[in-house]
Structure 1
Amino acid sequence: MEQRFVMKCGGSTLAALPNSFFAELKELQQSGVRPVIVHGGGPAISDTLGKLGIETEFVNGLRKTNDDVLDVVEMVLAGRINKEIVRKIQQNGAKALGLSGVDGKLIQAKPVANADDIGFVGDVTDVNAAVIEGVMGMGYIPVIAPIGIDDAAQRYNINADTAAGAVASHLGVERMIVVTDVPGILKTVDGEKQVLPTVTVEEIEAMIASGEIYGGMIPKVRAAIQCIQGRVSEVVIVKGDEPGVLTRAVLEGGVGTRIVR
């Protein structure tokens, strides 16, 4: 079977990546590997909401989403950021097609359990993998914005990590790559910080409890854990600006931190 992988990346992380990263994406695509990108864009959404004077708040790490916020979420994710990524890929010689979860009912969703507190935030119920397969079959890299839709045509704001995990699972991909601005999960050994090559979900929870994983790293690893669902059995956290990082993560291993069930 052809090699394929799903890559999750924050919008701000992707925008900051060097051209060499996208050149590598092109090389992988030309060698027959089929990438799928699912992106976020939290900071850009917050920034735009601020400029428009729309208040925003978070409940347990998820953005409270009313109709006004939802309009901005869709505008920023499916509009600005999605097209920015597509432009950057095309600028570097690869072919990309931007989609949101609304297109072709790509990401079907239902309200999360605490929807009364949090509004139009969704959990993924199904992924129309045939649309993604079709886009890949035409030789394009699908670039997916995590907006969901239900049968009544209601839109939902979906956490990008949750969406990426669901897309990977429905495509039958076992390994997901999470591109961040850190080289992996760090552990201090003899006073020196070292990247952990492999770590289990249980070990991560223990490291959060003991304070070894702290600050901004907590949401990153929790997000990576959210990607482990369905058929996805491992997630690799890598730093996007390391040379050859994608090829190593996809084909060779030995880069970043592998989080396994």
Structure 2
Amino acid sequence: MANNWFVMKCGGSTLAALPEPFFAELRQLQESGTIPVIVHGGGPAISSTLEKLGIETEFVNGLRKTNEAVLDVVEMVLSGQINKEIVRKVQQAGAKAVGLSGVDGLLIEAEPVPNAHEVGLVGNVTNVNAGLVRGLIDLGYMPVIAPVGIDARGQRYNINADTAAGAVASRLGVERMIVVTDVPGIMRTVDGEKRVLPQVTVSEIDEMIASGEIYGGMIPKVKAAVQCITGDVREVVIVDGARPGVLTAVLGGEPVGTRIVKA
């Protein structure tokens, strides 16, 4: 059954900017029996809302320092605004979707990260309710998941979207995950010309960051993709969502974007 679905991770701002044909492709995949499980982020929208509300926010080693006030906004923006916007766009394209947060049905159970004393209510995933995801798929729905977690006491946690996506993919037994971005892949300058690297290993990425070949805004994108390679997930493919038919091309084994592999 796991071959009939795939996990797609996408930032909230990226998804908002994707063209209509991308959502039409999601419908076509669903109709053909290949069900996308979407895990989304929404960092810029969270920051914008916090600023409007006058709530201070800061980052510690890439993780948003989260107290209850910040967490209220995180949940409101991720589980409400962005999650429902994605569901609306998927349904407008004629597909069937259900939006969930990790709180619903204990979908994403979490515990505090090791440095919780520095970052507050940020969580690591301890369990994913894969049966709930499979149940939605069996009913013909595309799950759209916001990365807010919960523990047995009912405490909510802010979960990094890449961490959540990797955990969902691993628990579902998916070997490949697709990260949809606004770039065609990892670029390298060859003979004075920038070219997309078809495949790189995690260690090669570390070397390219150290050498400065991967720089600027590409560093967090690449590091985020690497974070998704956990458990059963053996490769992550970074693709440009604006490219027509990009998901079908990746699933069909075409050389699209950059494949990041474990070794």
TM-score normalised by the chain length of structure 1? 0.99
Task: Find out whether 1:138 has 2:139 as its counterpart.
Answer: yes
Q: C-alpha displacement at 1:34, in angstroms? A: 1.3
User: How many angstroms apart in 1 are the aligned matches of 2:253 and 2:210?
Assistant: 32
Q: Amino acid of the residue matched to residue 194 of structure 1?
A: R
Q: C-alpha displacement at 1:114, in angstroms? A: 0.5
The equivalent residue for 1:196 is: 197
Q: Cα deviations across residues 37-76 of structure 1 (Å, max 9, x unaligned)? A: 0000000000000000000000000000000000000000
* 1:112-127 pair list within 5 angstroms: 112-127=113-128
Q: Amino acid of the residue matched to residue 126 of structure 1?
A: N
User: How many angstroms apart in 2 are the aligned matches of 1:140 and 1:12?
Assistant: 23
Q: C-alpha displacement at 1:3, in angstroms? A: 2.1
Q: C-alpha displacement at 1:93, in angstroms? A: 0.3
The equivalent residue for 1:5 is: 6
The equivalent residue for 1:129 is: 130
**What RMSD over aligned residues (CA atoms) do the two structures have, in Å?**
0.6
Query: Which runs of 4 or more aligned residues in structure 1 lie more than 3 Å from their structure 2 counterparts after TM superposition?
Result: none
User: How many angstroms apart in 2 are the aligned matches of 1:4 and 1:75?
Assistant: 28
User: How many angstroms apart in 2 are the aligned matches of 1:16 and 1:130?
Assistant: 31
- Structure 2: runs of 5 or more not aligned: none
SS of corresponding position for 2:252: helix
Q: C-alpha displacement at 1:118, in angstroms? A: 0.6
User: How many angstroms apart in 2 are the aligned matches of 1:50 and 1:99?
Assistant: 26
User: How many angstroms apart in 2 are the aligned matches of 1:4 and 1:187?
Assistant: 31
User: How many angstroms apart in 2 are the aligned matches of 1:84 and 1:241?
Assistant: 18
**How many residues end up aligned between the 2 structures?**
261
The equivalent residue for 1:167 is: 168
Q: C-alpha displacement at 1:251, in angstroms? A: 2.1
- Structure 1: runs of 5 or more not aligned: none
The equivalent residue for 2:108 is: 107
Q: Cα deviations across residues 119-165 of structure 1 (Å, max 9, x unaligned)? A: 00000001000000001110000000000000010000000000000
% identity of equivalent residues: 75
* 1:1-261 pair list within 5 angstroms: 1=1, 2-261=3-262
User: How many angstroms apart in 1 are the aligned matches of 2:148 and 2:255?
Assistant: 33
User: How many angstroms apart in 1 are the aligned matches of 2:151 and 2:208?
Assistant: 38
User: How many angstroms apart in 2 are the aligned matches of 1:239 and 1:174?
Assistant: 20
User: How many angstroms apart in 1 are the aligned matches of 2:71 and 2:87?
Assistant: 22
Q: Cα deviations across residues 217-246 of structure 1 (Å, max 9, x unaligned)? A: 010000000000000000000000001101
Q: Amino acid of the residue matched to residue 154 of structure 1?
A: Q
SS of corresponding position for 1:252: coil
User: How many angstroms apart in 2 are the aligned matches of 1:256 and 1:187?
Assistant: 13
Q: Cα deviations across residues 79-132 of structure 1 (Å, max 9, x unaligned)? A: 000000000000000000000000000000000000011100000001000000
Q: C-alpha displacement at 1:216, in angstroms? A: 0.6
User: How many angstroms apart in 2 are the aligned matches of 1:253 and 1:11?
Assistant: 26
Q: C-alpha displacement at 1:4, in angstroms? A: 1.1
